[in-house]
Amino acid sequence: MLWVKAFHIVFVASWFAGLFYLPRIYVNLAMVAPGSVAERDRLLLMARKLLRFTTLLAVPALALGLWLWLGYGIGRGSGWMHAKLTVVLLVIGYHHACAVMLRKFVAGGPTRSHRWYRWFNEAPVLLLLAAVVLVVVKPF
């Protein structure tokens, strides 16, 4: 069980690293001057590769978490686990929102301001904080 837990933590940390940086690329994309095609294309390439890699990291993170929950019974029937699963669903939703935003950038459609993306970039920090507090402190 400890090996599963260790790899779960590594993949979750790696997944979040991608979720921390991807919206940062969106900040830069929102600030690209009109006509800077090469810069825009470079940032889009970086974002596409990072999203793909981050998605690949999310799969084992989620699979190992399910293994701990269903296979070993960690947190089964606990209030903190229900809250943590809610946080996990929010993280998956955030990841999906990042993918939707990238598709809009690629299509050249309307985007938001760089300030909006800076605020959007703070969400995974709060989600990670909530998940860690729930798992470590088990407040309920």
Q: End-to-end CA distance of the chain, in Å?
A: 23
Q: Which domain holds residue 98?
A: 2-137
The backbone region for 76, taken as left when phi is positive above 0, alpha when psi lies in -120 to 50, beta otherwise, is beta
φ, ψ for residue 108 (rounded to 5)? 75, 15
Cα–Cα nearest to 5, from 49, 52, 66: 66
Residue 71, number of CB atoms within 10 A of its CB: 11
Q: What are phi and psi of 138, to 5 degrees?
A: 50, 65
- pLDDT tens for 60-115 read 999 999 999 999 999 888 999 999 999 999 999 999 999 999 999 999 977 899 99
Q: What is the pLDDT of residues 20-57, one digit of tens each?
A: 999 999 999 999 999 999 999 999 999 999 999 999 99
Residue in 13, 34, 56, 19 with CA at minimum distance from that of residue 108: 34
- Number of domains the chain contains: 1
